[in-house]
Amino acid sequence: MDNWSLTKLLESLHDDIHQRLEIARKTFSHPGTKGDASERVWLELLQKYLPKRYQAEKAHVVDSNGQFSQQMDVVIFDRQYSPFIFNFEDEIIVPAESVYAVFEAKQTINENYVKYAQDKIESVRKLYRTSLPIPHAGGTYPSKPPISILGGILTLESDWKPAMGKSLNDSLLLAPGSLNLGCLAAHGYFNYDEVTKSYELINGGKPATAFLFKLISQLQFIGTVPMIDVLSYSKWLKD
């Protein structure tokens, strides 16, 4: 019988992400290059391990009123039911209706980067989203309300000591729930509890793997994005 170990498999997933983020930080001296490499590490994790109904890309988000978000390091969006994905020269634009979650990726976390991530995430959440009634064999289901878009931050390190302590919690609570979850790969991960209106800070362990499982769990509870009114975008076509 093969000597498999689920514990070792899950630990190795975190160790791989942690090591690759460390390499990106230590190898590249240019901040932009270092940042791009770190973003790719997080994107590849999500692209590889999220269920296929989801897609993760660095992207802008657009709504049917022609408003655009800031560029987001990680956008998790529906690829099963949502059409209209624009990709030109590696610039990706997705419709607001298809978005499940958005993340900002940084080398470290501090109060300024928390606020920066909150502002970028808000540029997505404030976009207008359509929702059509859903036809089925027995008639039509009412339009589904737009989902609550998850937002978070992904880093390797923290400028605070301790990393997963009061300073992080106080910074997050300046805008409770604005960041739903995040991962500090070298230290732990955090999650916002909608019931208690407080943050759970999980220190140690294998944060990258634990964060991935928590994210997948939250995506499962969100369900499926509403049915997009594709024709609402056609008003921008010119003769």
Could you tell me which of 87, 36, 79 has the C-alpha nearest to residue 59?
87
Place of tokens 């090591």: 19
Residue 235 counted as domain residue: no
**Mean pLDDT for the chain?**
91
DSSP-derived pairing of the beta strands 91-95 and 99-105: unpaired
Question: Does residue 73 register a pLDDT over 90?
Answer: yes
pLDDT number for residue 239: 61
Residue 2 counted as domain residue: no
Question: Does residue 29 register a pLDDT over 90?
Answer: no
Question: Does residue 237 register a pLDDT over 80?
Answer: no
Question: Does residue 1 register a pLDDT over 60?
Answer: no
DSSP the chain: -----HHHHHHHHHHHHHHHHHHHHHH--SHHHHHHHHHHHHHHHHHHHS-TTEEEEEEEEE-TTS-BPPPEEEEEEESSS----EEETTEEEEEGGGEEEEEEE-SEE-HHHHHHHHHHHHHHHTS------EEETTEEEPPPPPP--EEEEEESEESSSSTTSHHHHHHHTTSTTSS-EEEETTTEEEEEETTTTEEEEEESS-HHHHHHHHHHHHHHHH--PPPP-GGGGGGG---
Distance in angstroms (rounded) separating the CA atoms of residues 49 and 72: 20
pTM value is 0.92
Residue 115 counted as domain residue: yes
- If one counts the domains in the chain, the total is 1
pLDDT number for residue 136: 73
Query: pLDDT grade, residue 234 (50/70/90)?
Result: confident
DSSP-derived pairing of the beta strands 139-141 and 108-109: unpaired
Residue 77 counted as domain residue: yes
Cα-based distances in Å from 140 to 98, 113, 190, 225, 229? 21, 45, 40, 17, 15
- The more confidently predicted of residues 140 and 153 is 153
Query: pLDDT grade, residue 125 (50/70/90)?
Result: very high
Question: Does residue 88 register a pLDDT over 80?
Answer: no
Q: Which tokens in the block code for residue 184?
A: 């500090």
Residue 104 counted as domain residue: yes
Residue 180 counted as domain residue: yes
| Phi and psi, residue 134, nearest 5° | -105, 115
pLDDT number for residue 102: 98
Residue 237 counted as domain residue: no
- The parent domain of residue 151 ranges over 7-133+140-229
Question: Does residue 22 register a pLDDT over 60?
Answer: yes
pLDDT number for residue 86: 83
pLDDT in tens, 177-188: 999 999 999 999
Residue 121 counted as domain residue: yes
pLDDT in tens, 156-179: 999 999 999 999 999 999 999 999
Catalytic residues: 73, 104, 106
pLDDT number for residue 208: 95
